[in-house]
Amino acid sequence: MKLRVIIADDMPLAREELRYLLHNEPDIEIVRECVDGRETVAAVRETKPDLLFLDVQMPDLDGFGVLYELAPDEMPTTIFVTAYDQYALRAFDVHAADYLMKPVDAHRFHETLARVRRQMAARSGENSAGSFSDLLREIAERRLAYQRLAVPHGDRILFIPTETVISLEARENYVLVHTTGGRHLLRDTMAHIMRRLDPERFLRVHRSWIVNHTHVRELIPGPQRTYVLVLDDGQKVKVSRSYRERVEGLVGRKT
């Protein structure tokens, strides 16, 4: 008996990657690919899949919104596909949710799929959507903290929407925050500030640079898997070799 699968991700290359990994699984039938949360909800209700690969960060309605929208008896077994940090991953572990980190590792993918098959067989079709409520609450609290960045400005504190942040640049003991409305200097370290940013949106691409991938205008490949990112404000940022896998995962390049 085939497992009927939906892939839900707004990035075409991410869907292609999952499709490629599922291609050699003889018991898998992909019944639908979805690009946003609303389409995913409709597809689940229409096709009633056994398994859902669900991107956490999608437009219109994100992955957690999909879980809120669907009734417990409508929710298929779900594998989250996420770039969330270690704090959030501990929440997935505590609440026994299966997840794959972006970029998806083939070995991890097959281990997760095998575990899900065993769980589905043990449950004999029993639904587990109700167990997600604590997970949703914990992740929602974390994601609220990602929405704004506190930056000192004279004797005041400015709260900058992180969606307006284009990049962050290390300057000795400071971080220069480049935004759509100007620049701000923040006394912090890159490692610490990265923990305050949404990993679905921000990528560390160099020891001195963090970029908001939604503000990446162009990627220029160079020799030996090197890359330069052209940002919306015209900055050109070189991707160092130690961070290039995140960029390759973003665009779906096979290494």
- The secondary structure of 142-188 as a DSSP string is HHHHTSEEEEEETTEEEEEEGGGEEEEEEETTEEEEEETTEEEEE--
Indicate if 14 and 85 belong to the same structural domain: yes
What total of structural domains would you count in the chain?
2
Mean pLDDT of 237-243: 89
Indicate if 126 and 152 belong to the same structural domain: no
Quick one: pLDDT band at residue 108, thresholds 50, 70, 90? very high
Cα separation, 152 vs 176, in Å, equals 12
70 versus 236: the higher-pLDDT residue is 236
Structural domain including 235 reads: 147-251
What is the structure's pLDDT at 230?
Answer: 95
Among 128, 144, 160, identify where a domain stops: 144
Indicate if 156 and 101 belong to the same structural domain: no
The one-letter amino acid at 91: A
What would the two tokens of residue 123 be?
């449950």
The answer to pTM > 0.85 is no
What is the structure's pLDDT at 45?
Answer: 96
Residue indicated by tokens 């979805």 = 34
Among 121, 144, 167, identify where a domain stops: 144
What is the structure's pLDDT at 96?
Answer: 58
Q: What is the pLDDT of residues 47-57, one digit of tens each?
A: 999 999 999 88
**CATH number of the domain to which 209 belongs:** 2.40.50.1020
What is the structure's pLDDT at 13?
Answer: 87
Indicate if 40 and 155 belong to the same structural domain: no
Among 107, 129, 144, identify where a domain stops: 144
What would the two tokens of residue 91 be?
């929440």
What is the structure's pLDDT at 123?
Answer: 66
Cα separation, 74 vs 67, in Å, equals 10
Residue 85 has pLDDT above 70, yes or no: no
Mean pLDDT of 139-148: 73
